[in-house]
Amino acid sequence: MTETLTSEMTCIEISHPGAPEVLVPTRRARPEPGPRELIIQVAAAGVNYPDVLQRQGRYAVPPGASDLPGLEVSGHVVAFGAEVTGLSLGDAVCALAPGGGYAEFCRVPMEQCLPVPEGLSMVEAATLPEVFFTVWFNLVMQGNLMSAERVLIHGGSGGIGSAAIQLASALAIEVFTTAVNEEACSFCRDLGARTAINYMEEDFVAVIAEKTGGKGVDLVLDMVGGDYIQRNMDCLGQGGRLVNLYYMKGSKVEVEMMPVLVKNLTLTGSLLRPQPLFVKQAIAQGLQETVWPLFKSGRIKPVVKEVFPLERACDAHALMETGQHFGKIVLKTEECRTK
C-alpha cells in the first residue's frame, strides 16, 4: 500500500571517499518497498561512527544495501509491501536501516522497525535504533549483561556509551566508565555511572582494582582496541567477558593470553550490520519488551548533542570526528523542520 508520493527525494551521497566535504546533497528516485519492507518518510536520521567509516571508504556496504549513509531513522510509514503485517500508513516509527537513512525516504525491513516510544520527539527517536540494537546485541545477547554485577563501558560520553550506561544502570548493574575529561566524566555520572574515570589522568585498571577490592568487573564493552585489549583483560574478574565493537587503536596487537585460562575469560565482538535478519528481529523484540518501557517511565532518556539540517551532513560528520560531543548527533529533514 502507498500514499501518493513524489517520485524523487533529496538525499546525501558520498561523492568519493574522503573528508566530510565529500557528503553532497543530490536528487534520486524514491525507493520502492519489497514484499516485507516499508518506506519511511524520514523526519530525522541519527549520525553514527560507521557512517564516518563508510564515508572514508573503510566500511563496506553489504550486498543489496543502499550506498547512501545512514543506519537509523524516524518518521512515518508511507508505503509498505504486500507481506508486511502489524503496521499501517501514518504510523510513527523508528527503524534500524540497512543504509540509506540520509534521505527524505528510506526503505527498511519490517522486522527492524519499532514504534516511537511514547513521549519522545522524532529527533529523539532517531537516536535510538543503531545504538540500542548494538548495545542489546552485544551487552545482553553476546555479553550476558543480565548476569553481571559490574560493567566497564569505554567512551561513556558517546552515543553507544551513553546508551549502555543508562541501560546497565536501569538494570541495577554497577557501571564503571572512561571519558576524556572531567566534564565528560560528570556527564557520565549524571547518566548513572557509579565511577567515571578520566583516562587522561588516571589508570582505569588501577581504579577498578581499587574500587572492586581486586575482584574486577564481569563485562567490558570496548571500541578502542590496541593496548586496551590487554588492560581490559586485566580488569576482568573470574568468568569475565570482553566485548569489542571496533578497534580504533588497532586490531593487531601482542597479548598475554594466560588470563583467558586463569580467569576463564570470554573474548567476543561483532558488527551489527552483517547480522542476519532473524537476529535483528530478536533484538527488536527484546528492545520493545524490556527497553522501550524504560523510555515511557523516564528511566532512560535519549541524549541529543546537536541537530543539523540534512543538507549539512558534512558539518555533522565534522563534529563527529572531533570526538568532543556528548550524546548523539542528528540530521533532520524538511519534513521535520516544517512540523
Q: Is there a domain that residue 183 lies in?
A: yes
Do residue 263 and residue 212 come from a single domain?
Answer: yes
* Count of structural domains, the chain: 2
Residue 264 lies in a domain: yes
| 2-11, 92-101, 301-310: range with lowest mean pLDDT | 2-11
Q: Are residues 121 and 137 in the same domain?
A: no
Do 58 and 122 lie in a common domain? yes
Same domain, 167 and 262: yes
Residue 249: its pLDDT value, please? 95
- Same domain for 207 and 306? no
Report pLDDT for 324: 72
Three-point CA angle 303, 307, 313, nearest 5°:
125
> 3-state DSSP call for residue 89?
coil
Residue 313 pLDDT: 98
Asked, for residue 292, whether it belongs to a domain, the answer is no
> Is the confidence at residue 226, as pLDDT, over 60?
yes
Q: Which domain CATH number covers 184? A: 3.40.50.720
Confidence tier at 126 by pLDDT (50, 70, 90): very high
Residue 113 grid coordinates: 522497525
Instruction: Say if residue 257 is in the same domain as residue 317.
Output: no
**Looking at 26-40, 133-147, 323-337, which range is the least confident one?**
323-337
Where in the sequence is the domain holding 165, given as residue range(s)? 132-269
- The answer as to whether 313 is a domain residue is yes
Does 334 or 261 have the greater pLDDT score? 261
pTM: 0.93
Residue 195 located in a structural domain? yes
**CB-based contact 204:188 (threshold 8 Å):** no
Q: What is the predicted pLDDT for the residue at 326? A: 86
Range 271-294 average pLDDT: 95
62: which DSSP letter?
A: P
Residues 35 and 123 in one domain: yes
CATH number for the domain including 33? Answer: 3.90.180.10
Q: What band does 51 get if pLDDT is binned at 50, 70 and 90? A: very high
pLDDT at 339 > cutoff 60: no
Query: Would you say residue 25 has pLDDT above 90?
Result: yes
Domain shared by 54 and 151, yes or no? no
User: Are both 83 and 175 inside the same structural domain?
Assistant: no
Which residues, at least 6 apart from 84, have a Cβ–Cβ distance to it below 8 Å? 33, 35, 36, 37, 38, 110
Do 191 and 314 belong to one domain?
no
Same domain, 121 and 164: no
47 and 94 housed in the same domain = yes
